[in-house]
Amino acid sequence: MNYIAPLSRRRQANWNRRQLKKHHAGEFQELGFSLSVQFAAPLAGAARDSYVAALIEHVEALGLTYGGDECCGFVTTYTRGSVTLAQRAALLAWVQAYPIVASAEASELLDAWHDDSWMDLV
């Protein structure tokens, strides 16, 4: 279920560069991805806190930011720009290698500002 109305190409065609930048559209589009994690066993308080702290530390080391909880969320860059496929692959590999994680999935790169379809994936 999409909550955000998609930007039409026709509407964007009438915008100048300043408007495209303001709306994060066209050449200024920013991409991110959703991350979904299943654990081998339900997490207790200390294990959950340890995993979340390690996840945030690794996400920040890659120059990214994470919004969500320990099971699912959305990853995008901390500053302007898009997540690269290398950053996505590195984070996914790290999460899959974490000892208490049974499985992890990352979506394809999605529009971080105008696409909420990632909420259907988690």
Residue 1 has a pLDDT of: 45
Task: Place 114 in a pLDDT band, splitting at 50, 70 and 90.
Answer: low
**30-121: CATH topology:** Alpha-Beta Plaits (3.30.70)
Cα-trace Rg, the chain: 16
| Tokens 């991409």, residue located | 31
pLDDT at 113 over 50: yes
d(CA 20, CA 9): 11
- Beta-strand (E) ranges in the chain? 31-39, 64-68, 72-77, 101-106, 110-111
Task: Place 57 in a pLDDT band, splitting at 50, 70 and 90.
Answer: very high
d(CA 26, CA 86): 22
22-55, pLDDT tens digit by residue? 665 655 567 889 999 999 888 888 888 999 999 9
pLDDT at 20 over 80: no
Residue 95 has a pLDDT of: 95
d(CA 49, CA 51): 6
